[in-house]
Chains A and B, each alone.
Chain A
Amino acid sequence: MAPPGHTLDTLQGTLDLLVLQSLKWGPRHGYAVARFIREGSSGELQVLDGALYTSLHRLAERGLLESEWGTSEKGKRARFYQLTRTGRRALHAEAAMWERYVAAVRGVMRLTPDAV
C-alpha cells in the first residue's frame, strides 16, 4: 500500500496509455485493468476507479478498444475490453512518445551546471 500523501496524480493522457498497455496481452475486464495498474505501479499509482472506467469507455468510443460481455473467472457477467488494430497502433505510438518524453525529462534533470 502506498503511504498516504504519496499518491501521484496522473494526467488523463497517461491514464489512457496505462489502460492501453494493460490490454496489450489480451482482453481483460475493467477490474482486472484496475488491478494491473495498481499492482504494476506497486501501489504508487492510485487512480480513481471512476476515472479509469471513463477512460475505458472513452477509448472504446474512439475505436481504440472494443468491448463485449463475457464471464469472469468466478462466473460472473463482466464487460471485457480488448485492443483493436487501431488501438494497438496507438499504443505503440503513445508508448514511444512516452519513452521520448521520459528520456527528455531525465536528460534535463541529470544536467549539472558543468554540462551546460
Chain B
Amino acid sequence: MSAEPRLRPPSWRRYLRFWRSDVDSDVDDELRFHLETRTEDLVAQGLSPERAAEQALTELGDLTAVRDRLRAIDRRVNRGRSRREQWSGLGYDLWYAARRLSGSPGFTMAATITLTIAIGATASVFGVVDGVLLKPFPFRDPGRVFVIWESNPELNMPRFPVSPADYLDWQTQNHTFIALAATGFGGRVTVSGAGDPENLGAAVVTPNYFSVLGVAPAVGRFLSADSSSPAEVVISYRYWQRRFGGARSALGQTLTLDDTPCTIVGVMPSGLPWDIDMWERLGFSAEEKSMRSGRFLQIYGRLKPGVTPDDGRRDLERIAARLAQGYPDADKGWRALPVSLSDSVVGDVRLALLMVLSAAGCVLLIGAANLANLFLVRCLGRERELTVRSALGATRGRLVRELVAEAVILGLAASVIGVGVAVGGVHVLRALAPSTFPRLDQTGADWRVVAFCGVTLIATVLIFGLLPAWYASRSAPASSLKEGSRGTGSARHHRVQNTLAVIQIAVALVLLTGAGLLSESFEHLVHLDPGFRPGGLLTAQIALPPARYSTPEKRDLLMKTLLDRLGAQPDVRSVSLSSAVPTLTSAELSFTIFGDPNPDPAHTPTADLVCASPGYLHTMGIALLRGRWVLPTDVRGAPQVAVIDDVLARQFFAGRDPIGQGLDFGDTVRIVGVVGTVKQRGLGASNPPQLYAPQSQCPGGFFAYVAVRTTGRPETYIRGLERIVANVDPTIPVFDVETMSDRLAQSVGTTRFATFLASLFAVVALVLGVVGIYSVLSYVVTQRQREIGVRLALGASRSHVMRDVVQRAAWLTSAGIASGALVAWVLTRALASLFLGISPHDPVVFVAAAATFAVVALLAASVPALRATRVDPLVALTGP
C-alpha cells in the first residue's frame, strides 16, 4: 500500500460519533468497498462486469444477513466501548487541567473568586425574586383571579374599596366572571378558647371566596353558604400547626372570636400571601345591601374559562357606567378596575426587586467579562506552547478540549463555593428584607436556587471560557515561534482585551451612578420633615371587647380612665388616644364646605380623618398654626368641632379664614383650628389633607391607638404600658407595640432594602472592574517586557516608561467612564420614578462616581506601572 492510512482519528471526531454514530452507513461503505474491489479484480481477470459483480456477491454470502450481523456487532461495540472511551478521555483531560490550574495559582484564584462572587450574588437575589415573584401561588390557575377595585381618578382615588350595592350589582349583571367574592379589609380579632387570648389577623368573606381563589382545604371544609347555620370559622395552616399541632381533632372545636363562639370547620392550605389566621362568614344586613356610598369591601373575581382579562374589564366597565347613570349621587365618576392577583400581592415590590436583579445581573456581566479576560490572557500566554504543539500535529480540537477542561474545573470549583455563597446570601437577604415584604416566607435556598447556580455557571463558563479558547486557538502567528520571542500578541488580541476592560468599567460606572442616585434619593426621603416629632414616642393598639363596652358612654369612660392613669405616670410626658397614628392609614372620607357657593358634586373633596384626644397635639409634637386644638370640653353632646391641617386650609380656604367655617361629612362640624401638615401615610407616599375631630365626638371607637411620649427611651416603657392597661381592664389586649421611629423606618423599608443592595452590588462591581483594568495592564507590561527593556537600555527614563502605562490606563478608564456615563444618563432618565425628590441627572452624583472610578483605577494601574519601571533591561533583553 502506498498511502499510509492515518491510524488515529482526530479526537474531535470521536466526540462527534458520540452523538450520532453512523454504524449503518459505515457497514454499508465497508461492504460496498469490498464488492467494488472484488468486482474490479475479477474484471481484471477477464470476466464481464456483470458476471464479475454476480460472483462477488455470491462470494459474500447472504448480503442482507451479513449486513445485519455486522451492524448488530458494531452497535454493541459502540454502546459499550465508545462511551467508556469518551468518559475516560474526559477524565484524563480534567485531571491534567486540574494539574495545570494548580500550577498557576494566581489565575486560578482570580478566576474562581470572580466566578464565585458574580454567581453567588446573582443567585442570592434570584432566590428572593424566585420566592416573591416567580413561585406560583397555591391557588388553582391564579392567572384567572383578579382583585377588583372601584376607581375614581378625578378624586385622586385610583384604587378604592367597593360598596355592597355595587358589588351585588356587579355580581348579578356580569357575564365574564364565574363568581365574585367579597371580603372586608385588614380586620383583626381577639381569639380565645385555645390558650391565651391573642389578637390575630382575620377576614370576613363571602362563602364563594374559597372557590373564587381556587384553594382546597388542608383538612375539613370551608364556610357553608347557609347563613342560618351556627357561626363557623376557617383557620390558617400556621395557626393550626401552632395551636393544635396539626391534629385533625381541631375540627369541631370552638374558638371565641371577639366574644362570639365559632366552630372550626376547616383549615386553609399553607403558602397564602396574607397575614390572616381566621376566616369568618360575611353577610350583608338589609341596609348594607342597599348601601352604595359606603365603600369598604375588597372584591375577588375568577374569570370564566375562555374569557380574556380585557373582556372582563370591558364587561365591568359597562356595568359601572350603567350604575353611574342609574345612581349618579353615589356612583358618578366611579369605574371598576380589575387588577391581577399577582400584581395586587407583589406589585409594589416588583419594580424594586427587578431593579436589584438587574444590578446583580450587571455584576455577573462584569464578572464574566473579567473571566473572559483572564482566560484570554491565559490562552495568549500559552500561545507559543500551543503553536509548537499545533505544528507538531496536535489538532485544534485537542487544544480547545484542554482549555475547555480547565474552564470546566474552574466552574466546578466555583459552583461548590458559589452555591454556599448563594445559600448564605439568600438567608442574609431574607433577614435584611423589611417585614412588610410580601411572600418572604416563600424565599429560601432550595433546589431552584441551586439549579440557577448550575445553569448560570455552565452558561458563563461555556460562553466566557470557550469563546476565548476558540479564539485563541484560531490564529497561530508564526512570529511566536521565533526564538526568544514572548509574542507581543496581535493587535486584535489587545483590542479584545481593551474592549472587555472598557465594557467592565462602563457597566460598573452605571451601577455606581445608579446606586449613588438611589442613596441620595433615600437620604432625601428619610430627612423629609414628617410634620411631627417621632423621637421618644411609643405607640400601641388596643381593642375594646364589644360586650363590655357596648355603649359610647362606657367607651368614653374607659378612654378617660386610661388617659388619666397613663398621664399620671412619672416617666410619661404626655399621652393620647386616637383612631390612627402616622404611617397607618386613617379613614378617608369626603366632605363639603358648608355654605360653599358652588359645590361641585363630581369633585367632592376628601381628607383623612383622625379622631384624637386632647393630648394628641402635644404628644405627637404637631405645630398649631391658628385657632385651638381639641379640648376636654369637646365631648359628646357639645357642639361638634374639627381641626384642619395646613394643606386643607390652603386648598379650600385660600384667602379666607377657615376658623368658624363649617364642614359637612355626614355630621356638620365647625372648624376651630389649623395645624401643620403631618405625613400621615408615611414618608414616601403622597398625603391628602387631614381632618381632626375630638375622639369623644366620633362614632364607633372600639379600636384606638395609644401614643405615649416618654422621658426615657420609649422601648423601655412597653411593659409599663401593658401593666397600666391590664390594671384598668385585663381583657383589653395591647398589641402592635412599636416606637414611632421604628414605624417610620418600616414605612421606607422596601426602599432602604433596595438601595442597600444596589449599593452593595455597585461596590462589588467597582472592585471587579478595577481587577479587570489591573489584569489588562499587568498583562501588557509582561508582554512588553522586552520592549520596555530595550527602551530603558536606550536611555528612556523610568518615569517615562511608567507614564506610558499610566497613559494606557487613563485611556481605558476614560473610555469606560465616558460610555458608562452616557448609558447611565439614558437609563436614569428612563427610571426617573425610582429617584424621588432629586434630579435623575444630578451632576454631583455623576461626577462623584466618575471621580471615584478614576482614582481607584489609577491606583490599580500604579502597581503594573511600578513593575514596568523595575524591569531590568539586561534580563529583559537576554530573555528567559
Contacts and interface: CB of A to CB of B under 8 A. Distances in A.
A53 B60 CA distance: 9
Given A29-B33, A34-B34, A76-B33, A54 B8 contact: no
B29 A77 contact: yes
B7 A50 contact: no
A77 B61 contact: no
A31 B3 contact: no
Contact of B59 (A48, A60, A70): A48
A98 to B, nearest CB: 24
Interface in A17-68: 27-32, 34-35, 46, 48-51, 53-54, 57-58, 60-61, 68
Nearest to A47: B59
Interface in B78-124: none
B533 interface: no
Contacts of B230: none
A31 B30 CA distance: 9
A77 B33 contact: yes
Contact of A31 (B38, B61, B73): B38
Given A30-B30, A73-B2, A48 B60 contact: yes
A70 B5 contact: yes
Given A69-B9, A71-B3, A73-B3, A50 B33 contact: no
Nearest to B33: A78
A31 B65 contact: no
Contacts, number: 87
Contacts of B61: 48-51
A72 B33 contact: yes
Contact of A70 (B6, B41, B74, B77): B6
A71 B73 contact: no
A49 B60 contact: yes
B15 to A, nearest CB: 15
Contacts of B1: 28, 32, 72-73
A79 B7 CA distance: 11
Contacts of A48: 59-61
A28 B73 CA distance: 20
B329 interface: no
A57 to B, nearest CB: 4
B557 to A, nearest CB: 101
A59 B244 CA distance: 73
B262 interface: no
B836 interface: no
Given A34-B34, A53-B34, A61 B76 contact: yes
A27 B7 contact: yes
Contact of B7 (A35, A68, A74): A68
Contacts of B37: 31, 72, 74, 76
B85 to A, nearest CB: 11
B73 A54 contact: yes
Interface residues of B, number: 31
B5 A60 contact: no
A78 B30 contact: yes
Interface in A66-112: 68-80, 82
Contacts of B60: 48-50
A35 B6 CA distance: 22
B196 interface: no
B5 A30 contact: no
B509 to A, nearest CB: 56
B715 interface: no
A57 B73 contact: yes
A50 B30 contact: no
Contacts of B30: 30, 53, 78-79
A80 B1 CA distance: 12
A57 B74 contact: yes
A4 to B, nearest CB: 13
Contact of A60 (B2, B7, B69, B77): B77
Contacts of B65: 50
Contacts of A50: 60-63, 65-66, 69
Contacts of A27: 5, 7
B77 A61 contact: yes
B70 interface: yes
Interface of A: 27-32, 34-35, 46, 48-51, 53-54, 57-58, 60-61, 68-80, 82
Given A27-B7, A54-B70, A73-B3, 9 more contacts: A30-B33, A48-B61, A57-B70, A68-B5, A70-B5, A72-B33, A78-B33, A79-B30, A82-B7
Interface of B: 1-3, 5-9, 26, 29-31, 33-34, 36-38, 41, 59-63, 65-66, 69-70, 73-74, 76-77
14 contacts: A27-B7, A28-B1, A31-B38, A34-B34, A49-B59, A50-B66, A53-B31, A57-B74, A73-B3, A77-B33, A78-B30, A78-B33, A79-B33, A80-B7
- Shortest beta-carbon contacts, A-B, top 9: A70-B5, A50-B61, A50-B66, A48-B61, A57-B73, A49-B60, A31-B37, A79-B30, A78-B33
